[in-house]
Copies of this chain bind each other. A is one copy, B any other.
Amino acid sequence: MFENARLGQSVDRKTFEAREPGLREELLDAQFRLREAGFSVVVVIAGAEGAGKGETVNLLLNWLDARGIATHALGAPTEEERERPEYYRFWRRLPAKGQIGIFFGSWYTQPIARHSLGQIDEAAFEDGLRRIAEFETMLTDEGVLVVKFWLHITKEQQAKRFKKLSANKETRWRVSKLDWRYHKTYDQFVTSASRAIRRTSSGPAPWHIIEAWDARFRHLTVAETLLAAINARLAQPAPPAPAAEPLPVPAPRNVISALDLSLAVPEAEYRVALERRQLAIGRLARDLRDSGRSVVAVFEGTDAAGKGGSIRRITQALDARFYEVVSIAAPSDEERARPYLWRFWRRLPPQGHVAIFDRSWYGRVLVERLEGFCAPGDWRRAFGEINAFEEQLVDAGSLVLKFWLTTSPEEQLRRFQEREALGFKHYKITPEDWRNREKWPAYQAAAAEMIERTSTEIAPWTLVEAEDKLHARLKVLATVESALEGALRGRR
């Protein structure tokens, strides 16, 4: 693995100084063109302690234009980060298009360190590496240029470097007791690192292993590699616009068409059940909160199927201090400049809280797919990305609930007309709603495919017959109640 990083390669001062001005100029030029290029750059700097990661980052920061570059030296997660899924801290720091983000201390740090110290077993390590691969695949699919550097030094070089730093008054602070402890486990560290590098060196996000002992060689090689990667990407022609896809056609019978829309609940029965369920949900939500877990609920469905009304019946049971309804409309420009799921990651609830998404990440495979707001490749890979995302939520202790509410087209028309006639509801109907209505069969087909591909054991869809609002609300409440109960039992 590190054979090429043990060759004793070095660069003399004269060569370095001859190359430096030109290289800096080319880097600045690449960075300038990047600004308009519509993609972002994620740089990962990893390697053993003492390999010069900090120096290298400092160098890049000095050579590049500080406008448009951010460094993320991640130590221990903050409290806000600890209360959310593991990758929250990386997602929140993803650079916008045109920008460079340098991560030292990255998604590699914890898995490699913990495996090498024997704190996690093989299965957990492999799981962590799979998650990294998924994350980086998502990044590159979203157009992010991912450039990863592994700075390699030998165990002897590490000891030498620590000693040298310790001997100098000005640099002594840079070597801690922890560093010497890392030195003792150098061999395990390199073994774990090799595996991580092998598993995660993909075509679009390869590792660059850099012989790091000689600072000038390291600096030049890192800078030249980064420059070449950016320039190669800038030189790529824009991909041709994908051909328009035909709208999907629903199968004669699918999970949605199979729903029994005649299900209804009499008003009197509804009143009694509503109160009982809401009391139970309120109590269970408090218990779940005490256990430090969170709830992420998603509402999707046809327009006017009663999502808002169902959400309100849940929130009535909850304490306003501990829930948030997140309504998903058009993305902001900060959101558009980053990978698709960024806007949902940033809205994830902390431990003990309930977040209810009124429309959600499933927009990618519904409205974005059908209206052509994303390329076919984008919504196709979204199924896998969404499953991975929800897996992370569940791993972090979130209970994930997903509801698809549907009525018949006739009932929808009746509600549209009613709303247009009715005072304070008229604003709920927009021209877009009427347009969506014309694509009813296509939406149904897309939704059926979505449910098939994203209804997982850990985050199943609940299909809700919403022709009768009262039935729909009670079904939602009953599902929430039993899911909360199950979650609490599972934990105890």
CA distance in complex: A78, B81 (Å): 10
From B67, B79, B312, B358, A62 is in contact (CB under 8 Å) with B312
Q: Is the CB of A73 within 8 A of B279?
A: no
Residues of B near A57 (CB, < 8 A) are 320-321
In the complex, residue of chain B having the shortest beta-carbon distance to the beta carbon of A283: B170
Chain B residues within an 8 Å CB radius of A427:
28-29, 32
Q: Are B333 and A71 in contact (CB under 8 A)?
A: no
B312 touches A54 (CB 8 A): no
Return the CB mask of A297-326 against B: 1 if under 8 Å, else 0: 000000000001001100110011111110
| Minimum distance in angstroms from A396 CB to a CB of chain B | 17
**A68 adjacent to chain B (CB < 8 Å):** yes
How many interface residues does chain A have, given as a range? Answer: 35 or more
Assuming the A-B contacts A62-B312, A78-B78, A424-B29, are A70 and B333 also in contact, with contact meaning beta carbons closer than 8 angstroms in the complex? no
Q: How far is the CB of A132 from chain B (nearest CB, A)?
A: 22
B65 touches A308 (CB 8 A): yes
- Of B67, B104, B279, B332, the residue contacting A332 (CB under 8 A) is B332
In the bound complex, CA of A384 to CA of B96 (Å): 33
Contact residues in B for A216 (Cβ distance below 8 Å): none
* A334 beta carbon closer than 8 Å to chain B: yes
**A173 cross-chain contacts in B, Cβ below 8 A:** 286
Asked if A80 is an interface residue, CB under 8 A from chain B, the answer is yes
CA distance A136 to B78 in the complex (A): 30
Cβ-based interface call for A58 (8 A): yes
Distance, CA A105 to CA B170, complexed state (A): 47
Question: B58–A316 contact, CB under 8 A?
Answer: yes
Query: A66 to B66, alpha carbons, bound, how many Å?
Result: 41
Please tell me which one of the listed residues B58, B66, B80 contacts residue A325 in the complex, with CB atoms under 8 A apart.
B66
- What residues of B have a CB within 8 angstroms of the CB of A282 in the complex? 170
CA distance A320 to B324 in the complex (A): 37
**Residues of chain B contacted by A29 (CB below 8 angstroms):** 423-424, 427
A341 contacts the other chain (CB 8 A):
no
Chain B residue numbers with a CB within 8 Å of A105 are: 321
| Minimum C-beta distance from A334 to chain B (A) | 5
Contact B25 A315 (CB under 8 A): no
- Closest residue to A45 on the B side, CB-wise? B320
Q: A286-B173, A332-B333, A334-B334 are in contact. Are A320 and B67 (CB under 8 A)?
A: no
Q: Is A327 an interface residue (CB 8 A)?
A: yes
A interface list, Cβ under 8 A from B: 24-26, 28-29, 32, 54, 57-58, 61-62, 65-71, 73, 78-80, 102, 104-105, 170, 173, 279, 282-283, 286, 308, 311-312, 315-316, 319-325, 327, 329, 332-334, 356, 358, 423-425, 427
